[in-house]
Structure 1
Amino acid sequence: MNNTIKLTGLALVLLFTQCGNNNSGGEPMGFSSEMAPAADRKMAAAEEDPQMHTGDAPNTIERKLIREGNMRFKTENVSKTRTFLDSAVTAHGGYVFNENMYKNEGMIEQSVAVRIPDDKFEVFMAAISSYAGKVDSKNVNAIDVTEEYVDVETRLKTKKELETRYIDLLKQAKTVTDMVAIEAQLGQVRTDIESMQGRMNYLQNRVKFATLWINFYQTDSEGFGFFYKVGSGFGVGWAKFLGFMVWTVELWPFVLIILIIVIIVRIRRGRRNI
C-alpha cells in the first residue's frame, strides 16, 4: 500500500515537471495560461463582471445621488442679498463657483452658483427661502449614479490588484523580452487606473457637494424709476465733464506751442509798426 502511494506521488511530480518544461519556450513570463496563477484568472473574470468582485448585496449598497437645484426670488437690494449669500455659504461649509450679473431696462439681476455639502443642502435652502420671503420658483433634482459609482469603484480596485500582480511578475522576469512585455501591460494598466481614479474623484465630489443656482433681482420700485434715472444723469454728466477737463490738460503741449507762435507773431508785427 505504501509503495503504491509513493509511486503515485512520484508520477504526479514528474507530470508537473514535464508541464513546466513544456512552458519554458518563447512565451513571456506571466502571459501563458499554464503559468498564470488562479488569482490572475479571477481578476480577469472580475473585470468582465464587477458584481463577482464585490460581496455587497444590491440592497445594502448606499445610494449615490447628485443633487442639483435652482431658486429665483425678488429682493429689495441686490448688493445686500449678495452679502447675505456669502455669509450663508461660508456658514454651511460651501463655496461659490460661478457668478453673473445682468442689467436691463428697469431691472438688475444676479445669478450665483454655489456648492454646499449634501448633508447641509436642505438646511441651506431653508435659510435662503426664509431670507427671500416669497420665492418665485424653486426645484431640486437628484441624479442616481450608484450603478456607475460601484462599477468604477470595483474596476479601479481590480486594476490596482492587477497592477500589483504585474509588479510581482516584473520582479520575477529573467529575460529582456519578458520585462518589456510586462512593462507594456503595466503601463496600460496604470493609464486605466489614472482615468478611473479621475472619474471616481469627480463622482465623489459631485455626490459630496450639492449644486444650487440662485437668481435674485430688483426692479424699478427699488430705485430704478424716474428719480433714479435723473440722479444717474447728473452723475454721467459730471463724469463726462471731468473727462473733458482731463482731455484739455492732456493738450497742454499744443496749447503752449500755439501761445509761443502767437507771441512771436505779435512781436514781429510790433517791430514793423516801428
Structure 2
Amino acid sequence: MRKGIQMVLIIMMVLLAAACSNNGESGSDEASQSSSDAAGDSAATEEAGGEAAGSSSADNTGSGGEQEGAATDTKTSDRMVIYNGTLSLEVENYDESRSAIETQVENMGGYIVESSVESGEGNERTGSLSVRIPQEQFSSFMTAAEEAGTTVLNRSTKGEDVTEQYVDLESRLRSKETQEERLTAFMEEAGNTDALLQISEDLSAVQEEIEQLKGEMNYLENHANYATVDITLHERGAASLQSGGDLNTWEKSQQLFTKTLNGIVSAASGIAVFLIGLSSVLVPLLLLAAGIAFYYRKRRKHEE
C-alpha cells in the first residue's frame, strides 16, 4: 500500500517537474522572441530614421543646389550696367535730320537732355544733341539714328557695370538705417538735455548720410535704366556757283592795284629816307672811292 502511494507521488512529481520544465522553456522562448522582436523593431526604426535623414539630406542638398543655381541666374540677369553712346553724322539738311532724330527719341520713350547749334562758313550748321533712351532701346536707337545722316563719321558705345557699387550702397544704407533706429530709441530714453542734444546731432548726421546714399542709388538706377547718347550733326550743303555780284571782281582789282602802288611808294620812300639819312657818311665814302679808282686808272696807263 505504501509502495503504491509512493509510486503515485513519484509519478505526480515527475509530471509536475515536466510541466514546470515545459513552462520554463515556453517562457524562455517567449522572452527570447520578445527580445528579438524588440531588436528588430529598433533596427527597423533606426533604418527608417536613417532613410529619412538621408532623404532629408538629399532634399536639402538638391534644394540648396537649386537655390544656388537660381541665385547665380539672378545675379547674372540682375547686373546693373550703364550704357553710353557717341554718334557723329554728316547730313545734307540739318533741320530734317534733327527732326528725324527727335521723332525717334519720342517714339522710343526717351527725352532730350541738351541741344545746341552753331553756323559755320557757307551757312553750314553743326549741332549736338544729348538724349536719354530706355536701356532696352539703346541698340535699336543707335542703328535708327544712323539713318538720319548720309555718312557716319564716328560711332562708339561703352558699358559700365556698377552692380558691386550699387550693392555696397545698399549695404551701407541698411547699416545707417539701423543706426538711425537705435539713435531714435536712445533719444526717447534720454534723461538729460546734454545727452538729448548729442543724440540729436548724431541722428542728423546719420540722416544726412542716408539721404546721400539714396541719392547715389537713384543716380545709378536712373542711368542704368536710361542710356545716354551724344549725337553730333555736321551739315554739308551742295556747292553752288556764285553770282557776279558776289564775286566783286572790279572792286577786288581796284584794291589790288591800290595796294601795289602803295607798296611801291612805301619802298621808294624808305630808300630815299635811307640815303638822305646816311648822306653825311655816304658822300665822303663815294668821293674816297672815286679818288682811289682815278689813281689806279692813271697809274695803270703810266705803266703801259
SS in 2 for 1:213: strand
Q: Which residue of 2 aligns with 1:196?
A: 213
Deviation track 1:30-61 (CA, whole Å, cap 9, x = no partner) reads xxxxxxxxxxxxxxxxxxxxxxxxxx889826
Once the two structures are superposed, the pairs formed by residues 129-140 of structure 1 within 5 Å of their partners are 129-132=146-149, 134-140=151-157
TM, length-normalised to structure 1: 0.57
Conserved 8 A contact 2:101-2:148:
no
Cα deviation digits, residues 86-116 of structure 1 (max 9, x gap): 1111111111111121322243221111011
* Equivalent residue, structure 1, for 2:93: 77
TM value normalised by structure 2: 0.52
CA 1:169–1:58 in 2, change beyond 3 Å: closer, same or farther? farther
Distance 2:118 2:209 in 1: 44
Tell me, in whole angstroms, the C-alpha distance in 1 between the residues paired with 2:189 and 2:79. 43
Q: Number of residues paired by the alignment?
A: 175
d(CA) in 1 for partners of 2:240, 2:174? 63
Which stretches in structure 1 are left out of the alignment for 5+ residues?
1-55, 232-274
Residue 228 of structure 1 deviates from its aligned partner by 9.3
Deviations 1:198-251 (CA, angstroms, capped at 9, x unpaired): 222221211111111111222241xx63459979xxxxxxxxxxxxxxxxxxxx
The question of 1:91 aligning with 2:98 is answered no
Distance 1:218 1:179, change over 3 A: same
CA distance in 1 between partners of 2:120 and 2:146 (Å): 25
Residue 214 (structure 1) aligns with: 231
| Residue 64 (structure 1) aligned with residue 80 (structure 2) | yes
- After superposing on structure 2, the runs of 4+ consecutive aligned residues of structure 1 that deviate more than 4 Å are 56-59, 227-231
Q: Which residue of 1 aligns with 2:140?
A: 123
Kindly indicate whether structure 1 or structure 2 has the higher relative contact order, using CA contacts under 8 Å at least 6 residues apart: 1
Which aligned pairs between 1:183-262 and structure 2 lie closer than 5 A? 183-221=200-238, 225-227=240-242
- Check conservation: 2:187, 2:199, Cα contact below 8 A: yes
Could you say what the CA RMSD is over the residues aligned between the two structures, in angstroms?
A: 2.7
SS at match of 2:229: strand
Report whether the alignment pairs 1:110 with 2:132: no
Larger Rg: 2
| Separation in structure 2 between the aligned mates of residue 72 and residue 191 of structure 1, nearest angstrom | 42
C-alpha change, 1:59 and 1:89, in structure 2 (3 Å) is: closer
Q: Secondary structure at the match of 2:204?
A: helix
Q: CA deviation at 1:134?
A: 3.8
Aligned-residue identity in percent? 29
Partner residue in 2 for 1:149:
166
Distance in 2 between the 1:152 and 1:230 partners? 69
Query: For residues 210 and 196 of structure 1, what CA distance do their matches in structure 2 show?
Result: 22
2:60 matched residue in structure 1: none
- With over 3 angstroms needed to count, the CA separation of the structure-2 counterparts of 1:175 and 1:202, relative to structure 1, is same
Unmatched segments (≥5 aa) in structure 2: 1-70, 247-304
2: distance between equivalents of 1:90 and 1:195? 32
- Find the residue that maps to 2:92 and give its secondary structure: coil
Greater helix percent: which structure? Answer: 2
Residue 166 of structure 1 aligns with an amino acid whose one-letter code is L
- Separation (CA, whole Å) in 2 of partners of 1:229 and 1:173: 92
Q: CA deviation at 1:159?
A: 0.8
